[in-house]
Structure 1
Amino acid sequence: MTADEIKDYCRSKKMITEENPFGDIPICFKLKGKIFAQLYPYEYDYKITLKCTVDAGQFFRMAYPEKVVRGYHCPPVQQPYWNTIFLDDFPDDVLKDMIDLAYDTVFFKLSKKMQEEIKSNL
């Protein structure tokens, strides 16, 4: 996927915001103020860091050991909850599944009230 396709896919999620809280990069996608994706769109450093569960994170790191690593920028205690994916030649369908998982991981950590608000916002 191109950076623009990734941005469009993230933007297609319900009630997200796109922000640059750390400068030009990464481009952060948030649900109710919680980051689920951080995109680094430059050719020389083309990657995305996604929120995940510990089990899913470990699964993807084992399935794609050359392309998926623990969140490189995170402190060690947070690394199991983030995966950094190097995007050159990474399967589009797997990336979309991982973005969906990142969004869902944040969604299900929200209060039931916030979840209902998001569900009802069509």
Structure 2
Amino acid sequence: MNATAKEVMEYCLTKKDAYIEYPFGEIPIVFKVRKKIFAELYPNPEDYKITLKCDMVLADFYREQYPSIVVRGYHCPPVQQPYRNTIWIDRINKEILFDMIDHSFLQVIKSLPKREQIDFSEYL
């Protein structure tokens, strides 16, 4: 079963201290924690996708496992592309997508200063 845009938004907002911003206009809907992006949602049916942060090795694995469904972060600068995946939401199972969102959130938490990571010990 695939996730609806509403389900994706609600799931992203279940993450501790997660919030929405619109730094690029109405779209994408950007989910952040501590001023760092962990998800960018494009909710329009004709362009229904999400871009997530990902460990480089795992990002390659997802691209190989789900060709044409998971691709390099298409809009990211080349230096960031190995660490970002864009996923076509209507072509992937909801549980797998939510696991990817969890991983993205964790990657952002791990990049925070150690003193801030303490606030997220339940994720680490």
* TM-score scaled by length of structure 1: 0.95
- Residue 9 of structure 1 corresponds to 11
- Residue 31 of structure 2 corresponds to 29
Could you tell me which amino acid in structure 2 is paired with residue 77 of structure 1?
V
SS at match of 1:88: helix
Percent of matched pairs sharing the same residue: 52
Aligned residues: 120
- Show structure 1 runs of 4+ deviating over 3 A: none
- Residue 46 of structure 2 corresponds to 44
Deviations 1:38-80 (A, max 9, x none): 0000001000000011011101001001200000001111100
CA-CA distance at 1:119 after TM superposition: 4.0
- Residue 107 of structure 2 corresponds to 105
- Residue 69 of structure 1 corresponds to 71
* TM-score scaled by length of structure 2: 0.93
1: distance between equivalents of 2:87 and 2:110?
22
SS at match of 1:101: helix
Q: Is the 8 A contact 1:38 1:50 kept in 2?
A: yes
Q: Is the 8 A contact 1:15 1:118 kept in 2?
A: no
Could you tell me which amino acid in structure 2 is paired with residue 117 of structure 1?
D
Q: Is the 8 A contact 1:61 1:68 kept in 2?
A: yes
Q: Is the 8 A contact 1:41 1:47 kept in 2?
A: yes
Q: Is the 8 A contact 2:69 2:91 kept in 1?
A: no
SS at match of 2:91: coil
Structure 1: state its 5+ residue gaps: none
CA-CA distance at 1:26 after TM superposition: 0.3
2: distance between equivalents of 1:116 and 1:91?
32
SS at match of 2:117: helix
Structure 2: state its 5+ residue gaps: none
Could you tell me which amino acid in structure 2 is paired with residue 92 of structure 1?
K
SS at match of 2:75: coil
